[in-house]
Amino acid sequence: MLLEDKVSIISGVGPGLGQELAYVFAREGGHVVLAARTESKLREVEANIKKEWPQARTLVCPTDISDAGQTARLVEATVAEFGRIDVLVNSAYVPPPFAMFDSADLDDWRAAFEITVFGTLQLTQAVVPAMRQAGRGSIVFVNSMIQKKPLPAQAGYAIEKGALAVAARMLAKELGPHGIRVNTTYMGWMWGPPVESYVEGAVAAGRSREEVMAEITRDIPLGFVPDDADCANAVAFLASDLAKVITGAELNVNGGEVML
């Protein structure tokens, strides 16, 4: 198993990729700390893990990563329960409302940046002391192909994800001497609740399912929308010891839609 006995904090555990990350990490033998703002969702994911992978230990920590106190409590609770932190997966994000730049409300961008950028960096900073003390650790930033493949009305989202891409490279350089690896995955379309809702909405508006799916997959060389769980597998690889010599890497996990 890729992550046997590794203790992993996963932020942004919610519908879609967030919950699949938790399931894949548990399936691969890890112990999972579930972090997000909605406790009911975390409890649901925890119950599913206990049913399918009873060997995996879990810890539910409702956390708003933009709150320094809550972030500190998350890290303290993890160390108290497990004695260490082996992996951090930065999956939490809030995109600003889609809008063309010339009409965008920059206050909306600031609010989203507070969570996606500063909240993520705050959590990352909080786990570093425990990883440094252990002399090892793996941090994976879940990013988006949007900042490599610009689309109209999504500048705010792309810019906040772009900031995290730069942060990951800088941290890989700074934290490498302490045995801490930092890598990034670039996700695209992922088949799960969010994309399913998008497709169902388009169908309800009068478009055919075939037309919608053809539009989505047009630029994906593999010809299908990658599944959330398959995308989570790539994160598990980077978190694992199979990737022990990989740091500062940027891995495209989007069916080939972006190859840069």
pLDDT per residue, tens digit, the chain (260 aa), is 999 999 999 999 988 999 999 999 999 999 999 999 999 999 999 999 999 999 999 999 999 999 999 999 999 999 999 999 999 999 999 999 999 999 999 999 999 999 999 999 999 999 999 999 999 999 999 999 998 999 999 999 999 999 999 999 999 999 999 999 999 999 999 998 888 988 999 899 999 999 999 999 999 999 999 999 999 999 999 999 999 999 999 999 999 999 98
Q: How far apart are CA 180 and CA 20, in angstroms?
A: 24
In this structure, what are the phi and psi dihedrals at residue 223, rounded to the nearest 5 degrees?
A: 85, 10
Q: What is the dihedral of CA 240, 39, 109, 125, to 10 degrees?
A: -40
Q: How far apart are CA 76 and CA 255, in angstroms?
A: 38
Q: What is the distance of C-alpha 170 from the center of its chain?
A: 18
CB-based burial of residue 53 (10 Å sphere; 0-12 exposed, 13-18 middle, 19+ buried)?
A: middle
Q: How far apart are CA 164 and CA 141, in angstroms?
A: 8
User: Measured between alpha carbons, how far is residue 174 from residues 144, 171, 178 in Å?
Assistant: 23, 5, 8
Please say whether the beta carbons of 236 and 3 come within 8 A: yes
Task: Give the chain's domains with CATH numbers.
Answer: 7-190+227-252 (3.40.50.720), 191-225 (no CATH)
pTM, to two decimals: 0.96
CB-based burial of residue 99 (10 Å sphere; 0-12 exposed, 13-18 middle, 19+ buried)?
A: middle
